[in-house]
Structure 1
Amino acid sequence: MIQNKETILDIKNLHISFKTDAGQLKAIRGVDLTLKKGETIAIVGESGSGKSVTTKAVMGIIAGNGSIDQGSILYRWTDEFTGEDKSCDLVQASEDFLQKEIRGRKIAMVFQDPMTSLNPTMTIGNQVMEPMIHHYHKTKEEAYAKAVELLEEVGIVDAEKRMKNYPHQLSGGMRQRVVIAIALSCDPYILICDEPTTALDVTIQAKILELIQDIQKKKNLSVIYITHDLGVVAKVADYVNVMYAGKIVETGTIDEIFYDPRHPYTWGLLSSMPDLSTDDDELYTIPGTPPNLIHEIKGDAFAPRNAYALNIDLRLEPPMFDVKGSDTHKVASWLMHPMAPKVQMPKELARRLEKMKGGNE
């Protein structure tokens, strides 16, 4: 486990809303998140829970109709020339600063569909070279040599020949490797991976995840994974943040979330994971649908879908409760209140988790 590391990114009480024809949509409703050097955190949840919006706010690339209404995103780094420790609230930073200093240079992002990230009219080589020329004013010769090196590093065979190719000439897995090479071209401190393996088949998925892990170890990168796939999380993360309706509802180490989940929503997510050893004929699905965030949410946003909801869930929003005996495990559920009735996770899920635990020991 990674401990006593220096904090590189600290998100506090983040609120983001979007103006829509139907009204103000409160997409992020008070997110707190901490990332330390060399650490991997995962943000998981259903589509629309706010995973991507949170990380796009870090990059300063939220849509034109969006606004950060409250909160801070504190980024800390060491100046490469003076060795001085610096920090900046990215919410307050100018577009010019974000463009020159942050995006691609200190924080880079790998998106889920490489075809939307790559320019179909530019060669692969030019796309990998461009950030180095733009940010570090490298000569074309220097950028070319580093680009070939990066393509080799991400596992592209015959890298020099591939430099002349266009995106449509490469397979999906190779395109995703190119996107990773571009993201790494300016030696960022933080790599944000937004569902980086969704568009790929299972065997290529595993290779891409291994590749990101290898590069992370070599470069001591801090990585944020955004995914709805808990199988991916199990392979890569140190810490997991479970998001629902624009809030983090459970956070903890990978073992705490997988083997000792406490929030009914986390139980639902884990129960809906495919499992070859289950006796059930059908895959579990969480009943109902996520709330419409244009309407004000009273109480716990998950209450209408929660079979274990208490009366208080319909009236008051739960705070983050600390799980007894852990410094890292926190849960936003009234079931954690000392006076709440004791509720156990579903028996089938407990059986599956016990089996998983046994298989990993």
Structure 2
Amino acid sequence: MAKISERGGHNFQATGAVGLINETIEDRKVLAAAYKYTKAAGHDVLDVTPGNCDVNTDLILGVNKAERFGAELFLSFHFDKCYDEYNGALGVACWICAEGGKAEEYARSIVNTISVGTGLKNRGVKVNPRLYELRKTSMPAVIVEVCFCEATEDVRIYKEKGPDLIGKLIAEGVCKVAGGQVPGTVIENVDYEIKEPKPVPTYDRSKFKTNARALVALDPRDTASEIYEDLGEIYENERFYVLPEVCDKGNYLPVLYWKDGANRASNKVWVKSKQSYMMIDTYHRVVNVVTELDARYEPSPNSSRMGYVTNGERLYVHRTEGNYALCTYFAGDGYKTAWFTAKYLERI
């Protein structure tokens, strides 16, 4: 059996997120259940949750206590928050320091078991080597983000299923990797096998070109829609690159972002492009237009019209081609990318 350190995230001095539910209150309930069920499965479990203290002391004490215990697995339970309010589902996720290895096995097993056992949307396993609990632990470490405090559907499911079931499912996810069995197991089998990762090229981040900034945390997705696979995380204030492609997808743009865990640029993904979510760099403005400057799908006067801009509006020029410039511009509620007659654009 394994030696496992578990803790609730934050404390009542350095508090966590608050939305429809309070993170610090709820993660203690999940901790109590997870502790009970992992111990019942035969594992040696230690609660390493500190008392009330500042945020830095909180993180240090939890990790140090796990290290002194000689833990073979470190689990930290949290609830996420991204928006002031959210009508819908955002889901459950697990965070690890890097892809591959035992931490990813535990994380996949836990997140899949919780999702299957509750119906919470599965956001998968995410990588962030900057998080203290992940980078300062010598043993495999997983941060479990049970659901989003502000998401109406997440909170509905959480309240319906209850923290006891969540804790039990976490314990079941652990046991699928570490061995042992939770009495009255709910989910017998889930897929958590980690295939040997293919080698990927690494890049110099200082050479990664960017032209936009996230105003809130963004979900990189595989499709330009609300039905999508969550492919990672672009953090608030993180810079990324809007691709030079004609785009009339409503509230979405194709982008690249830097993946810290893989130390490389991402493949093409989609993000929400509302003005309240992101801001693109604008080094040009529209000048000398009598009425409107047409946004076109192709660099041709015969191309159909996507929209328009007027004098004084600012945009980002990706490149020029003959008499036309490919630009990302603000179109109503979100950004789009189209061709404009270049002579009406002036660098600021």
Q: TM-score scaled by structure 2?
A: 0.29
Is the strand fraction higher in 1 or 2? 2
Q: Which of the two has higher C-alpha Rg?
A: 2
Q: TM-score scaled by structure 1?
A: 0.28
Which one scores higher on RCO, CA 8 angstroms, separation ≥ 6?
Answer: 1
